[in-house]
Structure 1
Amino acid sequence: MTHLKTDLLAQVTPGPDRQSSYRPEVQGLRALAVLMVASYHIWLGKVSGGVDVFLLISAFLLSLSFIRKAEAGRALNIGRYWIHVFKRLLPAVVVVLLGVLTATALFVPKSRWSEILSQSWSSLFYVQNWALAENSVDYYATDQSVASPLQHFWSLSVQGQVFILWPLLFALATVIARIMKVRFRHAVLGVFGAVFAASFVFSIYETYTNQTYAYFDTRTRLWEFAFGTLLVLALPYIRLPRAVRIAAGWTGLAAMLSGGFILDVQGQFPGYVALWPVLAATLVILAGQTGSKFGADRFLSWKPLIRLGDMSYALYLWHWPVLIIYLIWRGREEVGPVGGTAIIGLSLILAYLTTKFVEKPLRSMAWVEKKQRRGILAIAVCLVLAAVPLAGWQGGLKIEAARLAADADRNNPGAAVLLPGYTDESDANAPTLPLPGGGEWGGSSMKTPDCDALTDGPTDDLLAKQCSHSMPEAGYDRTILVIGSSHAEHWLPAVNTMADKNGYRVISLLLTGCNFSGTESNGGESECDRFNVAALDYALTLRPDAVFTLATRSTVAGPRDVPVEGLSDTAAVLRNNGIQLVGIRDTPRFTFRPTDCAYEVGEDSAECEVQLTEVLDPTPPEGVSETDVRFVDFTDMVCPDGLCRPAIGNIFVYIDDDHLMGQYVRSAASEFERRFVEAVGW
C-alpha cells in the first residue's frame, strides 16, 4: 500500500518515513475539505464536516507511520516524533497569531482585547478547545462577529493533543504484544478498538446531554482518530472490484460535500452523526487510484487541487481570523457574496505566502533536522516569538487596569450614582474602568465566578455547572438556588455580595441559552427540557429558601419581553413545597455592543445610547407579577430614565450585546438586596 504524502491539517509525517510515492487523490481530498470548511464558515455560517475528514486522515497517516516502524523492528522514537511534529506545526501558528494580534490592535475594539489575548495563549499551547468548552461558546452562533478570531484553533488543539497521545498508545500496544506474545497488529486492534468504542459511546452520550461542551471535548473526538487507525489495519484485507471502487469514490465525495446540508449538525454533532463525513472520506480512501477516467480520483488528482492541498494547513489557519476581523471591522453579522469572495481571496494569498516563505523553508532546512536539540531550539524560538508580545500586551493592560482600580471605589461608583441620597465625591474626569482582564467574563458569554463543587450536589450530568458560590464557615441562615441561562448567571455578583453580607449559601445550576421553567416545552427531547426537569427535581430535593431565575425573556426582534413559559406553574409547585421563586425581569438585548461603541466614538456619544422603548417595553409583560413568582424589575438600574447608556458611574454596563458587566452588577448589590428581600419578605 502506498504512503500518503502529508498530514491533513499539518504536514507532520516524520522525514525518515516519507516515501516518494503518494496518493494524489487524498491531497485533492484535503484541498476539497478545507474549501468546504472555509466556504461553509464564510457564506453559510454552518459546520461542513470537513474538519472531521481532517481528523480521520490525520490519524490514518500517523498510524501508518508507527505501524510500519514497529513491524520493521525499529524504535518508535516518540520524543523525536513530538519534536518533529511541533517543529512543523508551530511556525505557521505563530505567524497567524502575530497577524491576529496586529489586526486586533488595528481593527478590534479595546473591549475585546483581553479575550483575544487569552485565547492566543490557549491556541499557542493547544488547549483552545478546552477553553471554549469551559466558556460554553456557541460554535453555531448566527452572529459570527461576536466569535473569537482564534476560535477555529479548537480543532488544531484536539489534533495536537492526539499527536501526543497516539504515540503513547502505540507504545502501549508494543508492550502488550511483547507480554502477551501476539502480533503487533492484533495488539493495536485491541488498544485502538477499545479507544474507538469508549469514545464513540461517550460522544453520543455527551452530545445528547451537553452538546455545547461535547463539540470541543477531545474525548468525544478520539473515536474519529481511532477510526483512522483501524482503517490502516483493515485496508490490506479489503479487495474491491474496480467498478465498486469507482462508485465508492463518487459516493464518498458526494456524501462529504452534501453532509452539511443534509444533517442536523446543529442538533446532533459530533455524536454518531459525525460518522457521515468520516465514512465519506473512508470511501474515497478505499476507492484509491482507480486508473479510470470516470473515477473520482481523476478529479481529486487535478493539479490545482493538489497545489491547494499543499497549502491547506495555512488556508485553514488564515480563513477564520480574516473572516472575523472583517466582520468586526465592518460591524456586520455575516458577509455577502462579494465580501466572502474577497475573504477567500485574501486567505489564499496569506496561505500561499505562509506556505512558501515559512512552512516549506523550515521543512527543508537540513540543519534543523540533523539534531534533536536543534528541533527543540526551533520550537522554543517559535514560542518566544509569540509569548513576548502576548505577555507584554497583557502586562500593559493589567498595569492600566490596576492604575484605574486604585481609586475605583471613589471614582467608579457604578450603579450607586442612581441611588437616592448619593453624594458625588468622585473625580468627574476619572476614566471608565476598562473591561477586566479575566475572572468575570470571557468568550461571548459570562464566566461564572469561582465556586466549589458540592459534595451533596445533583447527580444528573445535565447539571454539570452546579456549584456553591457562597458557603459560610459557621453555617448558613438561608439557601438561594440560582437556576437558568447566562442571563440569570450575570446577576451572580449581586447575589453573592448579598449572601456574603448576610451569611447565605448560594448554589447555581446553569445551562447556556436555557431559561428555567421546570417544564418540558418541546416534548422532553431538547437538552433544555431535560435540564429543566432535572433542575426542578434537585430544587425539590434541596428545598432552598428561594430559587432565583429569569421571569421574562427578551429578544432583539422587538421591544417586548415575554414571560418565561411555564414558570408560573413551577412557582406554584415550589410554593407548595415551602420554596419561594424570585423571578427577575430580563435585561435588554441590543443589535450592537454598547461597550465597543463607547471605545470607538466615546461613551457620551449619542450613537451609543438607545431609548428603552426601542429594546424593551417601559412596563413588564402583563400578568407576570400576578402569579406565584416573586417579581423583581431592575430595568431602571440598567436603563435609568428610559435611556440605555454604555456606562453608568464610570463602569461599563454591558460586556457584549446582552450580558451585564460583573463590576456593574456588584455596584448595584445594595439595591439588588433591598428589592430581593422585599420580594421574599425576609
Structure 2
Amino acid sequence: MHHQATTRAPGARAVGVLRPGHRVDLDGLRGLAIALVVVFHIWFGRVSGGVDVFLVLSGFFFTPMVLRRVERADGPVLRPLVVRTARRLYPAAVVVFGAVALWTVWDRPFTMWDATTRQLLASLAYVQNWELARTASDYAAADLSVSPLQHLWSMSVQVQFYVGVTAVVFLVAAACRRCGRRDLTTPVLVSVLAVAAAVSFAYAADIGRTHQGWAYYDTGARTWELAVGAIAWLAIGRVVLPAALRAAAAVVGLAALVGCGFLVDGAAQFPGPAALVPVGAAMLLVVAGAGAPESRAPAVTRVLESRPLQFLGSIAYPLYLWHWPILIAVLSAGHSVTVVTGSAVTVVSIALAVATRSWVEEPVHRRGAGRGVLIALVATGAVGLAAVSAAWQGYLDRATAQPTADVSADERYPGALALVDGEPVPDAPMRPTVLDADLDLPQSTLDGCIADMTQREVISCVYGDPDATRTLALAGGSHAEHWLPALHRIGRDRGFAVITYLKMGCPLDIGEPLLADLPYPDCRDWSSEVLDILAADRPDWVFTTSTRPSPTEFGDVTPDAYLDVWARFSALALPVVAVRDTPWLSREGVPYRAADCLADGGDSESCGLPRSEALSEIDPARAASLPFPSVVPVDFSDAVCGPDVCRVVEGNVLVYHDSHHLSATYVRSLVPVVDSTLGEVTGWW
C-alpha cells in the first residue's frame, strides 16, 4: 500500500511505463483505492475492494524492488531492505498506535484494554490478521464493539508476503547464479509466483466455502492477490497493447473497481473467486497505463493522474491508518453516521494523514540531524507501546490466574434464587469480577469439548454421571452449551449422563445457516452428522435451544430452520427439551458486554435492558412446537429477567460472561430451577 517511487508533479501528463519510469497513474490508482475504502467503511459499512487493490499494488512495487537489489548486489542486501521497509511502515503506524492507546485508556472501560493491548502487540509484530482470525472477528460494518485496530489485518498480510517473497527471490536468484543462468532469474521467479498464486487461489476458494471468517484474514488465502501484482511487473511490462485495447481496459477496469463494493459482498466472499473483480480491475488499469512513453494515455489513465487522486495517493497509507480508529471513536461517543458526522470523520482523517505525512513520514526519509531524533522517538514509542501492552497482559494473567471460585454454596451469592424465590442478598463483592467474567465459562469450553468455527469434526464428551444408563444429549451451539454447568451438576446428583454435541455459533440447523449474516455451510454439515449420531445412539432426551433474537424487531422468534430439525427428531421418536434462548445485550443493534458496562460506571439495572426488547411476551416456541408432540418447550426467562428489566447482576452474581452468554456461576445458581423443571418434563424424579 505504501511503496512509492520518486514523485512527479501531480499535474504531469506523461504516460506511465513499467520500466524504468515511475507510474504516476498508479499513484492515482492508490488514491482511488483509498477513497473507496474510506467511503465504503464510513457510509456503507461494506468492503469496497480497495484493500484488494492495495494488495495487488504492494506485490507490484515490492517484488521488483527486491529483485533489483538482489541482481545489483555489491554489498549487504537484506539489512538495507529491512531498514527501508521499516522506515516506510513503522513511523506513521506508531503514531496511530499511540493515539489509539491513549484514546483507549481515556475513553474505554479497563475491561476493554485487554483486546486493545493484544491487538497492539499483534499489529506491532504484523500478525494482526492471525489475531483476528483466532478470535473469529468479522470484518463488516463498523460499530462501537469493533476494534479500532481491526483494519490493520491487511498490513500484516502485506508484511508477511514481503518476508515470503523476499526469501523466494533470494533463493531463485541464488539457484540461477549457481547454474550460471542469471538470465533465467525473472522467468523462473514468474513461474514460482504463478504456481503460488494458483495454489493460493484454489485454497481461498475452498476454505471460503467452509471457513469464510478465517479465510478473510488468512495470508495463504490472500497470497494470490499480491502474487498477481508481482507477476504483473515481471511479465506485463514486456507487452504493450494497442491504444484501443488499452482504452477499453481502462474503462472496464475503472467501472469494475468503482462498482465492486455495490455489487459484491466482499466480507462474505473475499478472497475467493469474487475477489477477481477488484484484482482484475486493478490489472486492467495497470495494463491500460503501460504504454510506450510517446503514446497518448487513455482518458481514464489521465483521470488517475489528476491532482485529487494524486493527492489521495500521496497520503494513502496514513489515511488508511487514521480513518478507521477515528470512525470507531465517533461511534463510541454515541454518534451515528450521518452526512455531517461522516464528512467530519473524512475531513479529520485527511487532516491527520496530511500532518502525519508532513511531520513524520517525510522527515524520516530526509537526511539531516532531525531524522535520527525522529527515528529514535519512533523506536522508543514502539518499544514503549509493546512494553506497556505486555505489562497489562501480564497483569491480567496474574489477576485471572486462579479459576473463578464456585460460590454456589455461599449464602452471600444466591444468584438466580434472589430473583425467583426472593432470597436475601447480603452485601458482598460481585462474582465473577469484571476481569474474571471472560473466563467464567462452561467446563466443555475449558475441556475443548466444543468445536470452534473452523472445526468440522463432531466432538462428544460426557458429563453428569458417566456410568448412568439414562442419557441427555446437549446439542447445538454455545447457547445450548451455557446450560451445561447446571445440567452437569443435576446429572451427577440425579444419576444421568449429559453427552455433549456442541459447535460454536451453530444451533442445530440443516438448512442454510448463517453466522453474522455470512453463509456457514460447515454448521449445516455438522448438524446433519449430529442428527445421524443421535439417531444411532438414541439418547433418552435431547436438550437444545428453541428461539433466537428477532433479526428485524424486538423480542425473540423460533426460526423455521429449527422446525426442520424438530421434524427430524419427531420422525426419530426422540423427545426434546427445547429451551428458550436467553436475552442478548445490545443497544440499537450494537452488542455490549455486561462487564464493560459495569466497569464504565454502570449498575445492574442501567447495564441491563428492558425485558420487552429482549423477549416476546409469550415464548414463541409454545406455538411453534404444537405440531411436534415430542418437543417440550421450556422457558427459564423468569429466572434471568425481572418483570420489566433483564438486569446484569442478580444475587451478587454477574449474569453474563460477555454480551449474550450466561456466566457459568450464574447457571450454577439456576440448578434448583432447572432441576425442578427437568424432573417434571422427563419424569425421572
The residue that corresponds to 1:92 in the other structure is 92
Is residue 159 from structure 1 mapped to residue 163 from structure 2 by the alignment? no
Match of 1:449, SS state, is helix
Code of the residue aligned with 1:50 in structure 2: it is G
Which residue identity is paired with 1:200? F
Shift of 1:321: 0.7
Aligned to 2:138: 138
Equivalent of 1:549 in 544, 549, 555: 544
Letter in 2 for 1:517: D
> What is the number of equivalent residue pairs in this alignment?
651
Name which of 449, 456, 460 aligns with 1:464: 456
Could you tell me which of 288, 305, 326 is aligned with 2:309? Answer: 305
- Note the C-alpha offset of 1:341: 0.5
Shift in CA distance, 37/504, structure 1 to aligned 2, threshold 3 Å: farther
Map of 2:260 onto structure 1: 259
User: What does 1:245-644 correspond to in 2, within 5 Å?
Assistant: 245-288=246-289, 292=296, 295-330=299-334, 332=335, 334-365=336-367, 381-394=380-393, 414-415=415-416, 417-418=418-419, 420=421, 422=423, 424=425, 426-428=426-428, 433-436=433-436, 439=439, 449-452=445-448, 463-464=455-456, 467=459, 483-491=475-483, 507-510=500-503, 512=505, 514-519=506-511, 527-528=519-520, 531-541=523-533, 543=536, 545=539, 547-555=542-550, 557-571=552-566, 573-574=568-569, 580-592=575-587, 593=592, 595=594, 597-600=597-600, 602-604=602-604, 607-621=606-620, 622-624=622-624, 626=626, 627=628, 628-644=630-646
Corresponding residue for residue 56 of structure 2: 56
Amino acid at match of 2:205: I
Indicate conservation of the 8 Å contact 1:60/1:225, yes or no. Answer: yes
Partner of residue 202, structure 2: 201
Note closer, same or farther for the CA distance 1:245–1:230 as it changes in structure 2 (3 Å cut).
same
Which amino acid in 1 is paired with 2:252? T
**Distance between the aligned counterparts of 2:128 and 2:487, measured in 1?**
31
Shifted more, 564-573 versus 188-197: the winner is: 564-573
Instruction: Assess, with a 3 A threshold, how the Cα gap between structure 1 residues 21 and 529 changes in structure 2: closer, same or farther.
Output: closer
What is the CA distance between 1:156 and its match in structure 2? Answer: 1.4
Deviation at 1:54, TM superposition (A): 0.5
Q: Displacement of 1:150 after TM fit?
A: 1.2
Q: CA deviation at 1:214?
A: 1.3
Name which of structure 1's ranges 312-321 and 294-303 shifts more when overlaid on structure 2: 294-303
How far did residue 352 of structure 1 move?
Answer: 1.8
Q: State whether residues 518 and 533 of structure 1, in contact with CA within 8 Å, keep that contact through their aligned partners in structure 2.
A: yes
Q: 1:398 to 1:67 in 2, by over 3 A?
A: closer
**Partner residue in 1 for 2:14:** none
Residues 173, 188 of structure 1: 8 Å contact kept: yes
Q: Which region of structure 1 is more displaced relative to structure 2, 636-645 or 171-180?
A: 171-180
1:390: Cα distance to partner? 2.1
Name the SS for the 1:427 alignment partner.
coil
SS in 2 for 1:326: helix
What SS class does the counterpart of residue 121 from structure 2 fall into? helix
Q: CA deviation at 1:270?
A: 2.1
Matched residue of 2:557: which SS?
strand
Query: CA 1:179 to 1:94, structure 2 compared with 1: closer, same or farther past 3 Å?
Result: same
SS of the equivalent of 1:126 reads coil
Superimposed CA distance per residue, residues 408-454 of structure 1 (whole angstroms, 9 cap, x where no aligned partner): 77566543544658564x5346697214385569xxxx999344489
User: Residues 624 and 654 from structure 1, CA distance in 2 versus in 1: closer, same or farther, beyond 3 angstroms?
Assistant: same
Distance (whole Å) between structure 1 residues aligned to residue 20 and residue 414 of structure 2: 69
Give the whole-Å Cα distance in 2 for the aligned partners of 1:262 and 1:44. Answer: 12
Q: Provide the rounded CA distance (Å) in 2 between the counterparts of 1:140 and 1:654.
A: 25
Matched, 1:172 2:176: no
Q: CA deviation at 1:159?
A: 1.4
2:230 corresponds in structure 1 to 229
Between 1:412-421 and 1:208-217, the stretch displaced more is 412-421
For the 8 Å contact 2:485–2:664, the answer to whether it is kept is yes
Query: How far apart, CA to CA, are the structure 1 residues paired with 2:172 and 2:29?
Result: 30
1:414–1:649 CA contact under 8 A, matched in 2: yes
Shift of 1:487: 3.6
User: In structure 1, what is the Cα distance between the partners aligned to 2:468 and 2:83?
Assistant: 54
Task: Please tell me the residue identity of whatever aligns with 1:96.
Answer: V
Any conservation in 1 of the 2:190–2:231 contact (CA below 8 Å)?
yes
Structure 2 residue matching 1:335: 3-state secondary structure: coil
- Cα separation, partners in 2 of 1:649 and 1:342, compared to 1, 3 Å: same
Whether the 8 Å CA contact 2:53–2:279 is kept in 1: the answer is yes
Q: Deviations over 1:178-205 (max 9, x none)?
A: 5777611232133212211111011111
Range with greater deviation from structure 2 (165-174 or 79-88):
79-88
Contact 2:133 2:214 (8 Å CA) reproduced: yes
2: CA distance, partners of 1:4 / 1:120: 26
Instruction: Give, in whole Å, the separation in 2 of the partners of 1:367 and 1:465.
Output: 60
Q: CA deviation at 1:550?
A: 1.8
Q: Are the equivalent residues in 1 in contact too, given 2:211–2:520 (CA < 8 A)?
A: no
* 2:104 aligned residue: 104
Mapped to 2, the partners of 1:269 and 1:549 lie a distance apart of 33
TM-score (structure 1 length as normaliser) = 0.82
Kept in 1: contact 2:266–2:274 (CA 8 A): yes
Question: Please, which moves more after superposition, 274-283 or 97-106?
Answer: 97-106
- Cα offset for 1:405? 7.0
TM-score, with normalisation over the residues of structure 2? 0.82
Of all paired residues, the percent bearing the same amino acid is 33
Superposed displacement of residue 166, structure 1: 1.5
- Following TM superposition, by how much is the alpha carbon of 1:318 offset from its aligned partner in structure 2, in angstroms? 0.9
Provide the residue aligned with 1:11 in structure 2: none
Q: State the alpha-carbon separation in 1 of the partners of residues 151 and 315 from structure 2.
A: 17
Q: Which residue of 2 aligns with 1:649?
A: 651
Q: Contact between 1:199 and 1:219, CA under 8 Å: does it hold in 2?
A: yes
Query: Gaps (5+ residues) in structure 1?
Result: 8-17
C-alpha distance in structure 1 between counterparts of 2:470 and 2:374, whole Å: 59
Shift of 1:59: 0.9
In the TM superposition, what is the alpha-carbon distance from 1:600 to its structure 2 partner?
A: 4.6
Instruction: Indicate how the Cα distance of structure 1 residues 180 and 138 shifts in structure 2: closer, same or farther if over 3 A, else same.
Output: same
Deviation at 1:48, TM superposition (A): 0.2
User: CA shift at 1:22, angstroms?
Assistant: 1.9
Partner amino acid for 1:387? Answer: A
CA offset digits 1:341-394 (Å, max 9, x no partner)? 000111112212222222222233578999xxx999888634312123323444
- Matches of 2:6 and 2:55 in 1, distance apart? 13
Which runs of no fewer than 5 residues in structure 2 stay unpaired?
A: 8-17
3-state DSSP class of the match of 1:640? coil
**Contact kept in structure 1, 2:117 and 2:393, CA below 8 Å:** yes
Cα distance in 1 between the residues matched to 2:568 and 2:360: 64
Whether contact under 8 Å (1:129, 1:153) holds in the other structure is: yes
> 146-155 or 117-126: which moved more?
117-126
Partner of 1:123: 123
Q: CA RMSD in A?
A: 4.2
Task: State the Cα distance separating 1:223 from its structure 2 match.
Answer: 0.8
Describe the SS at the equivalent of 1:631: strand
Helix, strand or coil at the partner of 1:152: helix
**Contact conserved, 2:653 with 2:666, CA < 8 A, in 1?**
yes
Q: Is the CA contact (8 Å cut-off) linking 2:472 and 2:499 kept in structure 1?
A: yes
Cα 1:71/1:401, change in 2 over 3 Å: closer
Provide Cα deviations, 1:314-336, integer angstroms capped at 9, x if missing partner.
11111101101110111x5x401
Distance 2:680 2:221 in 1: 47
Aligned match of 1:14: none
